[in-house]
Amino acid sequence: MKIKVLNAKCQGHARCAATAPDIFRLDDDGYILPGDIEVKPGDEEKASLGARSCPECALEIEE
Amino acid sequence: MRPVPAHVPPEMVGDFSLFTSPGMDRTANGDPQAAAAVALNGPRVFYSQMNTRDGRGTWVVTRADDQRRVLQDPETFSSHRSIFASALGESWPMIPLEIDPPRHALYRSLLNPLLSPKRVIAMEEAVRERAGVLIDKILANGTSCEVMDDFAFPFAVNIFLRFLGLSDDRLEEFVSWANDLLHGDDEQRPRAARTIVEFIRSLAEERRRKPVDDFMTFVVQAEIEGRPLDEQEVMGIGVLLFVAGLDTVAAAIGFDLRYLAEHPDDQELLRREPDRIVLAKEEMLRAFSTVQMIRVATRDVDFEGAPIKKGDYVSCASMIANRDPDEFEDPEKLDLGRIGNRHTAFATGPHRCIGSHLARREIEVALEEWLARVPTFRIKEGTAPITYGGHVFGIEGLVLHWS
């Protein structure tokens, strides 16, 4: 599973990291770091929940 | 009421308004967010003839997805309105809220570090301490209290004053300014606005003369584009902080405690399993959102069949979108364990509430400390909280009782 990160859409809500801090890494201001996220086996559910919590729809789940 | 502009097709005029619809005025035992959600029974976009505090008409965008598109497109839907300054008959922006990209980013990146998730962690201890002190005082005084005056406002205002670097001495004064500004009549509003401007001006002056380690010192020393902020920028930032941080956090705490008082099962659940509070608070933020975002069209644009003209106001009311059934399953039902809850109580787009991380932590801590210290509580018999809609939704006269 892969999460596509649309950095231009991130507005620093930090909901993804509140759900799964180990999967979604933020910069010092609370915005997501650039780069798509390769989800480790076993982390899929948390990653999916984190992605779905983004109010901007800035995280797209790719199977 | 102002006439409907000629370019608005008569069939697109709706009778809903956040100011005049049923349940929006002061109502005993009211539920203004549920009352606002009736707008979802209508079309995706319609025109409301009286939908701002100063009596202007706005387009009303009701669906969560459509609101997201408006708020994520500041080039078409600008937030430059000078809403505070207009109360003084002046025209200058609150910063960063009423500045559009790309300049917006200059101010936003200047201020972001002051309210980042990391910074908020450092503030938590003081926030928790304050909640504990206030609640213990309430408990020492008896078995009931009025939540807004005894807890929610003093709590939110104290944290705000601490952030500004001021002591608690003038707390009541601040509450009354904020109250007059947000909920006062045509005389109280400009008077409160002038008082706040004078206060910020003199505080900025003091910090220029004698810097300390606080927010206003940071602002008067800050630079953008290699120059210090000018007088108007300092004012725009100071005023926004004042307007945005007081009423909203207190209202959220009030609506949440009212809900828990009226829903003993949910109250008991959070008491028993306080780890659930973080997630539960998100659901209550969704269900009891208090703010409508208004944008101004920068050009003529057709939006889902609405012929929006340059200069038209477009309202994105969070309490409506947050009950959109296309976005939230069973939106009228509070599910304290709801997951994938991408509510927009703090707006979306570049103007996402910069204080959201602090506000979230304040609300969590308030609920955690309240439930840990106060025995099972309910609305005191013979009393009824008053709720209202309008510019910022709120609640007062919330008397809780425990034994």
Provide mean pLDDT across the span B279-293.
97
The torsion of the CA quartet B36, B40, B43, B47, rounded to 10 degrees, works out to 20
Spatial separation of the C-alpha atoms in residues B158 and B152, rounded to whole Å: 10
- Strand intervals (E) in chain A: 2-5, 37-38, 59-62
Chains A & B: contacts with CB separation below 8 Å: 51
pLDDT-derived band at B283 (thresholds 50, 70, 90) equals: very high
**Given this model, what pLDDT does residue A52 score?**
95
Chain A positions contacting chain B at CB under 8 Å are 9, 11-15, 17-18, 26, 28-30, 49, 52-57
Task: Report the pLDDT averaged over residues A41-56.
Answer: 96
pLDDT at A25 over 90: yes
Strand B399-402 versus strand B144-146 pairing type: antiparallel
Quick one: what percent of chain B has pLDDT higher than 90?
Answer: 86
Give residue B324's pLDDT.
98
Instruction: Read off the pLDDT of each residue in B106-118 and give the average, rounded to a whole number.
Output: 95
Q: What pLDDT is recorded for position A56?
A: 98
Q: Report the distance separating Cα B149 and Cα B397, nearest Å.
A: 9
What crossing angle do the helices spanning B356-373 and B264-272 adopt, rounded to 10°? 90
Considering chain B, what percentage of its residues have pLDDT values greater than 70?
100
Residue A44 CA from chain centroid, whole number: 12
Cα dist from B111 to B72, B127, B200, B228, B354, whole Å: 20, 20, 17, 14, 8
Give start and end residues of each alpha helix (H) in B142-230.
147, 153-164, 171-183, 188-209, 215-221
| Radius of gyration for chain B, computed over Cα atoms and rounded to the nearest angstrom | 21
Answer yes or no: do B348 and A56 touch at CB < 8 A: yes
Q: Residue A12's closest chain B neighbor by CA? A: B352
Of A13, A17, A52, the CB nearest to B356: A13
B chain contacts of residue A45, beta-carbon cutoff 8 Å? none
CB-based contact A53 B68, cutoff 8 Å: no
Closest-CA distance, A40 to chain B, in angstroms, reads 20
Task: Quote the minimal CA–CA distance from A34 to chain B in Å.
Answer: 17
Instruction: For residue B344, list chain A residues with Cβ-Cβ distance below 8 A.
Output: 55
Look over chain A and give the mean of its residue pLDDT values, rounded to a whole number. Answer: 96
Q: What does DSSP say about strands B313-317 and B58-61: parallel, antiparallel, or unpaired?
A: parallel
Give the Cα separation of B93 and B78 in Å (integer).
Answer: 12
Cβ neighbours of A9 in B, within 8 Å: 72
**Contact across the interface for A28 and B118, Cβ inside 8 Å:** yes
Q: How confident is the model at residue B182 (pLDDT cuts 50, 70, 90)?
A: confident
Q: Which of B348, B371, B331, B195 is nearest to A54 (CA)?
A: B348
Q: What per-residue confidence (pLDDT) applies to B172?
A: 84
Whether the upstream peptide bond of residue A21 has omega within 30° of 0, thus cis, is no
| Residue numbers in B near A47 (CB within 8 A) | none
Burial B87-120 (b: 16+ CB within 10 A, else e): beeeebbbbbbbbbbeebeebbebbbebbbbebb
Amino acid B87: pLDDT: 85
Residue B53 has pLDDT above 90, yes or no: no
Question: Of the candidates B147, B144, B27, which has an alpha carbon nearest to the alpha carbon of residue B381?
Answer: B144
Q: Is the peptide bond before B5 cis (omega within 30 degrees of 0)?
A: no
Q: Which residues of chain B are within 8 Å of residue A28 when distances are taken between CB atoms?
A: 113, 116, 118
Here the tokens at position B331 are 């939106």
CA nearest B286: which of B338, B245, B244, B326? B338
Please determine, for residue B245, whether its predicted confidence score (pLDDT) is greater than 80.
Answer: no
- Of residues B367, B104, B97, B350, the one with CA closest to residue B245: B97
- Is B391's pLDDT higher than 90? no
ipTM score assigned to the predicted complex: 0.96
Mutation site, B69, B322, B352, B354, interface A, largest A CB count within 10 A:
B352
Chain A residues lying within 8 Å of B356, measured CB to CB: 13
% of residues, chain A, pLDDT over 90: 98
Best CA proximity match to A26, nearest among A38, A13, A39: A13
B112–A53 C-beta distance less than 8 A? no
Which residues, at least 6 apart from B246, have a Cβ–Cβ distance to it below 8 Å?
B153, B156, B157, B160, B174, B175, B178
pLDDT at B305: 96
Evaluate if residue B281 carries a pLDDT over 90: yes
- pLDDT average, residue stretch B290-318: 97
How sure is the predictor about B244, in pLDDT bands with cuts at 50, 70 and 90? Answer: confident
Which one of A12, A14, A49 has the shortest CB-CB distance to B339? Answer: A49
Across the interface, whether the CB atoms of A56 and B350 are under 8 A apart is answered no
The mean pLDDT of chain B is: 95
B77 pLDDT higher than 90: yes
Q: Residues B66, B71, B73, CA angle at the centre, nearest 5°?
A: 100
